[in-house]
Amino acid sequence: MSALSDPFDGLWPSVEPELPEQALTAIAGRAQESDRAGVPARESLDLLRSLDWPGRPVPEKFHGGGAGLVRCCAMQRALGAADPALAVALNMHLFSVGLMVEHWRRRTDTSWLLMEAIATQNRLLASAFAEPNLGGSTTRSLLRAKEVDGGWRVSGTKRPCSLAAEADLVCLQLQAEARPGAAEDVLVALLPTTAPGMRVVRDWDAMGMRGSGSDTLVLEDCLIPDELVFHRAPAGSEDDDVFAAGTIWFALTATACYLGLAQAALRHAGDLLGRLRIAHLDSPRAGLPSYQAAVGDHVAALLTLEAACADTARRMESGAAPERLVDTALAVKQRALRVVPDAVGALAEACGGAAYSRSGPLERLWRDAQAIRFHPPTPVATRQYLARRALGLPAGLDLDESAPGLAGRAPGAADGRR
Amino acid sequence: MSALSDPFDGLWPSVEPELPEQALTAIAGRAQESDRAGVPARESLDLLRSLDWPGRPVPEKFHGGGAGLVRCCAMQRALGAADPALAVALNMHLFSVGLMVEHWRRRTDTSWLLMEAIATQNRLLASAFAEPNLGGSTTRSLLRAKEVDGGWRVSGTKRPCSLAAEADLVCLQLQAEARPGAAEDVLVALLPTTAPGMRVVRDWDAMGMRGSGSDTLVLEDCLIPDELVFHRAPAGSEDDDVFAAGTIWFALTATACYLGLAQAALRHAGDLLGRLRIAHLDSPRAGLPSYQAAVGDHVAALLTLEAACADTARRMESGAAPERLVDTALAVKQRALRVVPDAVGALAEACGGAAYSRSGPLERLWRDAQAIRFHPPTPVATRQYLARRALGLPAGLDLDESAPGLAGRAPGAADGRR
Amino acid sequence: MSALSDPFDGLWPSVEPELPEQALTAIAGRAQESDRAGVPARESLDLLRSLDWPGRPVPEKFHGGGAGLVRCCAMQRALGAADPALAVALNMHLFSVGLMVEHWRRRTDTSWLLMEAIATQNRLLASAFAEPNLGGSTTRSLLRAKEVDGGWRVSGTKRPCSLAAEADLVCLQLQAEARPGAAEDVLVALLPTTAPGMRVVRDWDAMGMRGSGSDTLVLEDCLIPDELVFHRAPAGSEDDDVFAAGTIWFALTATACYLGLAQAALRHAGDLLGRLRIAHLDSPRAGLPSYQAAVGDHVAALLTLEAACADTARRMESGAAPERLVDTALAVKQRALRVVPDAVGALAEACGGAAYSRSGPLERLWRDAQAIRFHPPTPVATRQYLARRALGLPAGLDLDESAPGLAGRAPGAADGRR
Amino acid sequence: MSALSDPFDGLWPSVEPELPEQALTAIAGRAQESDRAGVPARESLDLLRSLDWPGRPVPEKFHGGGAGLVRCCAMQRALGAADPALAVALNMHLFSVGLMVEHWRRRTDTSWLLMEAIATQNRLLASAFAEPNLGGSTTRSLLRAKEVDGGWRVSGTKRPCSLAAEADLVCLQLQAEARPGAAEDVLVALLPTTAPGMRVVRDWDAMGMRGSGSDTLVLEDCLIPDELVFHRAPAGSEDDDVFAAGTIWFALTATACYLGLAQAALRHAGDLLGRLRIAHLDSPRAGLPSYQAAVGDHVAALLTLEAACADTARRMESGAAPERLVDTALAVKQRALRVVPDAVGALAEACGGAAYSRSGPLERLWRDAQAIRFHPPTPVATRQYLARRALGLPAGLDLDESAPGLAGRAPGAADGRR
């Protein structure tokens, strides 16, 4: 058992065909500068376009790469190891295209036209789902769209929206103004980023994932033509195999980005620990039992998480019903939330001050790793969902709770702050 | 997503053909009495024999059930949910037979004779690997076997040895007395439990897994005929695909027992939480956000662990090289060590005092769950192994370390206690 | 820094005067038998009476020992190290008497008569606060007392009630049947255990703390004379310095019992780890870096918890306002809930199978340690309370929450189970 | 219990006299700019000098403020809440002066001259103890000083050295070149930062604590006059009450900085959680049970840590022997290492993406909080130390271990990397 292979090898298929080592090295080489500048590395995006990356998940019959969920996860993991901010930004594209494929498989319609355009023209997609005060809900919007002749008119703010300024198209959710007596519907539409009334505010300036370009999209009296609304469902509704499939795609590809990040952290920390000597013990830190004891359980947690992510992706790709897999996919993401930041933090701690310095890549990976806590669905909502599922209760991804004792107080008291 | 299916469904194949619901119910019904009495439920063992359980992993060509690792894990999980102590005790059988199959596949020899005997005669095997002061090593023995005419003569103690008093055969490790200048070899042999010089001391009396019959096997001047020694390798050696395969079988089937235990705990806790009302909130505990918040992340950890265990078993069964899987298999077991006892403890805590009472099954499951901390390889050894592997250092499952400052003190000081 | 003193020395005052080493040794000697039998060690109770233990917290002017909270914690810690089940059982006495002292200090009245009786006659008190479905509330009761001539008539069940069968007096809470238009009041009364209509059902049979005699008290049409009702307050009310003082006494003395338990576990584990050798490393486990790495952070957590417990007790004894200390006292107990069971589990894990065997004391301490999760206020209520306090929101120790989505379903759906 | 006081009030004495609210507000107002610029806020340092901060720990008879350890911790906590980077940088001054006081109390000599100069002239001290490859040892140096006429000559690098460029004096450790047959001694000396041969390289550029000015001090053939060497002891020696006192001062004042940081994080997170509404629940996050459940246990951990820190400081100030307190002081710092970063991370997670943005202070506090993992003694060394102490083994703060199996390999193999 002592051969010096990498314990993480073999968990995923090789992505050499799609993302050659040389391309990944080039992308990795730009990650630090992108972090400093706080904008995506445009050359890396161009490189990926030149490698036909945007169409990878599109079925081959529509001139795409035909990559299923397993291969898409493997690609995101490789990209996450090279430049996590770029991988996370692109994850919205990948997930949205994956969702189109799932949609097309289940409700065969004209959505293939769009996929074909993406594949043949290497179009990049941004997803504008997040909004302030949504609480991470993925089936609602606070933007109210007013029905007008030929479409919908809407104003409001979407934030954060990765690659808002770099993408060709944007996928967004709106809530249709309810007609009297009717429930509200959520609309999902796809617009070119050049649509009138839509503009990007370059205001992304975060602790980490600084190169993800997660800026703000402002809609001012923006018209959305009916023919660009491709999905409509009651607000808050999650009872849908396409919704389940989308949740799985997002949870697993997002997790894969951070698994790649963890690989990069492990590699850099391994280098440091192998070089940093403790003089009075005449040994590098890596060779000492106490440092090994500080690292081992994190390796166990990462390997377990990788295997679980891969397993769920494989089952999805083999045709398991999404409704049966969505719980495990969310569980994998929820665990990743603890496992990845904890592992990166422990590795940094073992390396000592060198890991804290901006002269090496570990501190950037450390900052980037924290972003996993913020992707929807939120950790508190996922926790409640999984508990209810395991306890045999009805469950949804929107938080369902109140505190009567606080809410019952005089107006303003619900906020209750000193 | 609100359909009230079980989130754990579908992770494993159904074992209804091998272990019908009715049989599992009967076995579960004897678990509490077996715990109280501190001995295995003999009727449950008989029932399993009547279901041809002992030969399940034996290839069909040798009249066995042909169950691979995935199916064996699924069976252990079902058995662990019914009676964890019985499942853990039988795990040594399953693992040993699985190892024979792996051995036979790689070194085709006469070992099939033995497998055939197990399958056709429903023989149960006990494994006598553990010894005091071995420190959990699985490639060493402190028993020194002296070469004599036609075999080996040996005395010593093996403890704990599950089903020592119930099994038909026992598989055990010994260390051959070294000839001058030669390294020591470890011998693995298989003896009938009726062999002269071998006796069982019924001394198993533990906090949990009380029905596992993990008694002490005493060898007094016991003769082991050469023809029953079926494996010989240098002590401490782990460089072997069969060793790797055995480690994987053990790590995964053992984990599966505890995953079953966790399922049982989840079911019982779910029942309690659904029944225990909090009067002033007019709700059962299960319906309250704070209780859900206390449970959700444990569900995430369990689902992730299950998927990782299943994935590793599936890859093994699909023919991946064991040397590539052993790290992940050990990682899965190492995580199970934290995840399962933590989950059971959190569920009990949420249920309140009712979970602590011996009138319900939760307290037994809680005690049983702790046993996962004690299976070889030990948690400290696995931690060191995985860290070294991830740091690119040579690694083995025997702890490798010393504390020069303590060891260098006057005789006795290494023990150093006040 | 290498002198082999005990790092836990000096945190607390010596209790040699109150509990001589010899007495503690005698008590410790009976702990295992008491655990096996599942009843309190009567000789230990007699010994404590002979040492005037019951009156220790009573002021000297009333012929008591005059022990303040610091000294009471120190005594409970010493008793917890000797026999945790006995310490926990007696904690209800200590806490109740401590509360009387706090009451008397603040509302000088005739309560000193009772304290004097306890001190001069060495009376033991049981506390009957817990009830099924109370959800751990300490300011409510589900027993409805009907006002009758000269007192109150009540029926119902109190469970668990430590030392119900061994104590001389029982302190209990009831809720007065509300008069129309009035809020419900909680009454606190003190009855002799020989009161007509009150009987003990010997049904305590738990995983741990088996020697605490936490049986069930049944009241059947029991009359409580007005003069034995010594406190009356609106149900659910916590706005009271005496309530705060009582919460502090309970939280800290209960924590101290488990700190003593942890000391015992540390001592036994230290002995085992110093004796258990790992043959191939020629060292006891205690001397190896990996085992030290597995233990060190638990020592840090225990030392920190001890210092925090002692600090809060000292500030209380120095006259700080209870309302200012109650948050910290609850925080200490909430931390103890994690720190003590985790430490005992980690020590057991490091010792290996020997810790799991019933031949040594570690497995009993392990089972006993879990009971800390069940004392009121419950962990979920304390968690919510502390969060609200830190977030500047109104807070109480009764859980305040609902899940509208679950509650709004058809009748029965709030329970919602499959 | 519902009054809206702050649960953290009253743990420490008020520092209004030394650090008026107005001054702290001014200092806090410069923290963000200092973080952006990556240098200490000079106006804040000037302000502190104007408040006679440098002489606070100096006894009043030498014209200082006479602040003991409790008050110094309270000041550091207040400063840490205002500008953690400044507090951590100044902690080296505070600790060094505190150590001088301890030294003077125990070995009355002329060290009072220096303290008097610090107090009357408001001199700031930097401490140059850290060096690459020291492994966090505090009783060794890799700089070899050669004895010359009238003093010692030395070259080498000290890094990181907070306030190297801002301080007036620097306290540093060197190792005297051993004479044949003699053990090596460590020298501690105090030099003006203007000493010939000493220069500062402004290279501090870290993830957090960016305003601490922890630059590099380079010594090139620097002469240290004998009269500035004020302490000499064998290398690696820790058997000294002054060493113990210094360790306690450092551990507790450093912890206090991070406790202040946690207070700031709690305040900012509380504001955010009270403002961030979840639209579909019509409530701010702070008012929801799941968010409270995510926060409560962190509050418990912080309150416990604060109380433990205060308790140890109070016992030290009351004259307890340092040798008896050093274990608890180290335990407090070791716990702070987990508690503070975990709490800040959990608060940020609860706030969602707003906490990740550089537009608010939480992300800075998050980055700053991680620095606690890097102060000496290192977490692995402290872990080993505390474990050995609790197991009754000889213990020191220098790691003591080796891995024979790795070290015994061919040259180079100890490093062992692929």
Q: How many residues does chain C have?
A: 418
Percentage of chain A lying above the pLDDT 70 cut: 96
First to last CA, chain D: 61
Contact B292 A9 (CB under 8 A): no
Contact D338 C297 (CB under 8 A): yes
Contact A388 B4 (CB under 8 A): no
Chain D hits for C289, CB-CB cut-off 8 Å, are 384, 400-401
Residue among B284, B370, B407 minimizing CB distance to C283:
B407
Neighbouring chains to A with at least 3 Cβ pairs closer than 8 Å: B, C, D
Helices A69-82 and A289-317: crossing angle, nearest 10°?
150
Measure in Å the smallest separation between the Cα of A119 and chain C Cα atoms. 43
pLDDT digits (tens, 9 = 90+) for A33-78: 999 999 999 999 999 999 999 999 999 999 999 999 999 999 999 9
Contact D283 A370 (CB under 8 A): no
Sequence-ordered list of residues with C-beta below 8 angstroms from that of B151, at least 6 positions apart, any chain: B223, B224, B225, B226, B228, B229
* Pair C190, C150: CB distance under 8 Å: no
Contact B394 D404 (CB under 8 A): no
Model ipTM value: 0.95
Query: Tokens 């939280």 belong to which residue?
Result: C251
pLDDT digits (tens, 9 = 90+) for C282-305: 999 999 999 999 999 999 999 999
Per-residue pLDDT band for C57 (boundaries 50, 70, 90) equals very high
pLDDT of the residue at D1: 40
Residue among C400, C409, C413 minimizing CB distance to A404:
C400
Contact C416 B287 (CB under 8 A): yes
State how beta strands B185-192 and B229-234 pair: antiparallel
Is A2 a residue whose pLDDT tops 70?
Answer: no
Cβ-based burial of A227 (10 A; exposed 0-12, middle 13-18, buried ≥19): exposed
Measure in Å the smallest separation between the Cα of B285 and chain D Cα atoms. 14
Chain B hits for A310, CB-CB cut-off 8 Å, are 311
Is A111 a residue whose pLDDT tops 80?
Answer: no
E strands in A203-359:
214-225, 229-234, 277-278, 283-284
Residue A200 or residue B110, greater confidence: A200
Q: Choose the mutation target among D4, D311, D325, D333 for the interface with C, i.e. most C CBs under 10 Å.
A: D311
Residue among D310, D331, D388 minimizing CB distance to C292:
D388
Per the structure block, which two tokens stand in for A327? 């719980």
Chain B hits for D396, CB-CB cut-off 8 Å, are 405
Residue among B291, B315, B387 minimizing CB distance to A295:
B387
E strands in C13-86:
none
Q: Choose the mutation target among C273, C304, C312, C330 for the interface with D, i.e. most D CBs under 10 Å.
A: C304
Per DSSP, the three-state class of C313 is: helix
* Pair A7, A303: CB distance under 8 Å: yes
Measure in Å the smallest separation between the Cα of C251 and chain B Cα atoms. 17
Measure in Å the smallest separation between the Cα of D408 and chain A Cα atoms. 11
Contact A392 B270 (CB under 8 A): yes
Contact D279 A134 (CB under 8 A): yes
* Pair D54, D118: CB distance under 8 Å: yes
Q: How many CA atoms lie within 13 A of C290 on its CB side?
A: 31
Closest of A65, A73, A127 to residue A251, by C-alpha:
A73
* Pair D97, D340: CB distance under 8 Å: no
What's the angle, vertex CA D71, arms to CA D67 and CA D74, rounded to 5? Answer: 145
**Mean predicted confidence (pLDDT) in A179-186:** 81
Chain C hits for D292, CB-CB cut-off 8 Å, are 383-384, 387-388, 391
Contact B278 C356 (CB under 8 A): no
**DSSP, res C62:** G
pLDDT of the residue at C181: 75
pLDDT of the residue at D418: 37
CA distance readout (Å), D336 to A210, A272, C8, C216, D369: 29, 25, 19, 43, 10
Sequence-ordered list of residues with C-beta below 8 angstroms from that of B94, at least 6 positions apart, any chain: B56, B57, B72, B75, B76, B249, B253
Contact A367 D341 (CB under 8 A): no
Per the structure block, which two tokens stand in for A304? 């377990």
Contact C407 B353 (CB under 8 A): no
Sequence-ordered list of residues with C-beta below 8 angstroms from that of C134, at least 6 positions apart, any chain: B278, B279, C140, C141, C142
* Pair D396, D235: CB distance under 8 Å: no
Instruction: For CA atoms A130, A133, A137, A140, give the dihedral sign.
Output: negative
pLDDT of the residue at D243: 85
Tell me how many residue pairs between chain B and chain D have CB atoms under 8 A apart.
61
Q: How many CA atoms lie within 13 A of C11 on its CB side?
A: 32
Low-confidence ranges of chain D (pLDDT < 50): 1-3, 410-418
Measure in Å the smallest separation between the Cα of B415 and chain D Cα atoms. 8
Q: Choose the mutation target among A398, A402, A417 for the interface with C, i.e. most C CBs under 10 Å.
A: A402
Contact A417 C391 (CB under 8 A): yes
Rounded to whole angstroms, how far apart are CA atoms D156 and D162? 17
Residue among D244, D303, D392 minimizing CB distance to C270:
D392
Sequence-ordered list of residues with C-beta below 8 angstroms from that of B180, at least 6 positions apart, any chain: none
Chain A hits for B1, CB-CB cut-off 8 Å, are 238-239, 243-244, 247, 323, 326, 395-397
Query: Within chain B, what is the greatest distance between any pair of CA atoms?
Result: 79
pLDDT digits (tens, 9 = 90+) for A263-307: 999 999 999 999 999 999 999 999 999 999 999 999 999 999 999
Contact A382 B305 (CB under 8 A): no
Chain B hits for A8, CB-CB cut-off 8 Å, are 390
Closest of B24, B46, B3, B4 to residue B260, by C-alpha:
B24
**Mean predicted confidence (pLDDT) in C360-375:** 97
pLDDT of the residue at A91: 96
Measure in Å the smallest separation between the Cα of D293 and chain B Cα atoms. 6
Contact C300 D383 (CB under 8 A): yes
SS (H, E, C) chain B: CCCCCCCCCCCCCCCCCCCCHHHHHHHHHHHHHHHHHCCCCHHHHHHHHHCCHHHCCCCHHHCCCCCCHHHHHHHHHHHHHHCHHHHHHHHHHHHHHHHHHHHHHHCCCCHHHHHHHHHHHCCCEEEECCCCCCCCCCCCCCCEEEEECCEEEEEEEEEEEECCCCCCEEEEEEEECCCCCCCCEEEEEEEECCCCCEEEECCCCECCCHHHCEEEEEEEEEEEEHHHEEEEEECCCCCCHHHHHHHHHHHHHHHHHHHHHHHHHHHHHHHHHHHCEEHHHCEEHHHCHHHHHHHHHHHHHHHHHHHHHHHHHHHHHCCCCHHHHHHHHHHHHHHHHHHHHHHHHHHHHHHHHHHCECCCCHHHHHHHHHHHHHCCCCHHHHHHHHHHHHCCCCCCCCCCCECHHHHCCCCCCCCCCC
Cβ-based burial of C108 (10 A; exposed 0-12, middle 13-18, buried ≥19): exposed
Helices B362-369 and B241-275: crossing angle, nearest 10°?
150
Q: Which helix (H) or strand (E) holds C177?
A: none
**What b-and-e string marks burial along A95-114, b requiring 16 or more CB atoms within 10 Å of the CB?**
bbbbbbbbbbeeeeeebbeb
Chain C hits for B158, CB-CB cut-off 8 Å, are none
pLDDT of the residue at D122: 96
Chain C hits for D287, CB-CB cut-off 8 Å, are 393
Q: Which helix (H) or strand (E) holds D186?
A: strand D185-192
* Pair A397, A382: CB distance under 8 Å: yes
Rounded to whole angstroms, how far apart are CA atoms A289 and A295? 10
Q: Which spans in A182-275 are helix H?
A: 241-275
Rounded to whole angstroms, how far apart are CA atoms A143 and A155? 7
pLDDT of the residue at D2: 42
Contact C287 B140 (CB under 8 A): no
pLDDT of the residue at C408: 63
Rounded to whole angstroms, how far apart are CA atoms D106 and C379? 47
Contact D312 C307 (CB under 8 A): yes
State how beta strands C277-278 and B277-278 pair: unpaired
Residue B208 or residue C104, greater confidence: B208
- Domains (range + CATH), chain D: 21-124 (1.10.540.10), 128-234 (2.40.110.10), 241-398 (1.20.140.10)
Rounded to whole angstroms, how far apart are CA atoms C275 and C284? 6
Contact C290 B350 (CB under 8 A): no
Contact D417 A136 (CB under 8 A): no
State how beta strands D151-162 and D125-128 pair: unpaired
Chain D hits for A346, CB-CB cut-off 8 Å, are none
Q: Which helix (H) or strand (E) holds D144?
A: strand D144-148
pLDDT values of chain B reduced to their tens digit, one per residue, 418 residues: 444 689 999 999 999 999 999 999 999 999 999 999 999 999 999 999 999 999 999 999 999 999 999 999 999 999 999 999 999 999 999 989 998 898 888 877 777 888 999 999 999 999 999 998 888 887 889 999 999 999 999 999 999 999 999 999 999 999 998 877 777 899 989 899 999 999 999 999 999 999 999 999 999 999 999 988 878 888 888 777 888 999 999 999 999 999 999 999 999 999 999 999 999 999 999 999 999 999 999 999 999 999 999 999 999 999 999 999 999 999 999 999 999 999 999 999 999 999 999 999 999 999 999 999 999 999 999 999 999 999 999 999 999 999 999 986 643 444 444 3
Closest of C194, C198, C247, C254 to residue C374, by C-alpha:
C254
Q: What does the CA dihedral B283, B289, B295, B298 come to, rounded to 10 degrees? A: 160
Nearest chain A residue to D385, by CA: A290
Sequence-ordered list of residues with C-beta below 8 angstroms from that of B181, at least 6 positions apart, any chain: none
pLDDT of the residue at C103: 85
Contact D370 A383 (CB under 8 A): no
Per-residue pLDDT band for C396 (boundaries 50, 70, 90) equals very high
Q: Backbone dihedral region of A272: left (phi > 0), alpha (psi from -120 to 50 degrees) or beta?
A: alpha
CA distance readout (Å), D225 to A166, B155, D147, D190, D234: 63, 71, 10, 10, 20
Contact C296 D393 (CB under 8 A): no
Chain B hits for A323, CB-CB cut-off 8 Å, are 1, 3, 5
Measure in Å the smallest separation between the Cα of D167 and chain C Cα atoms. 31
pLDDT of the residue at D4: 61
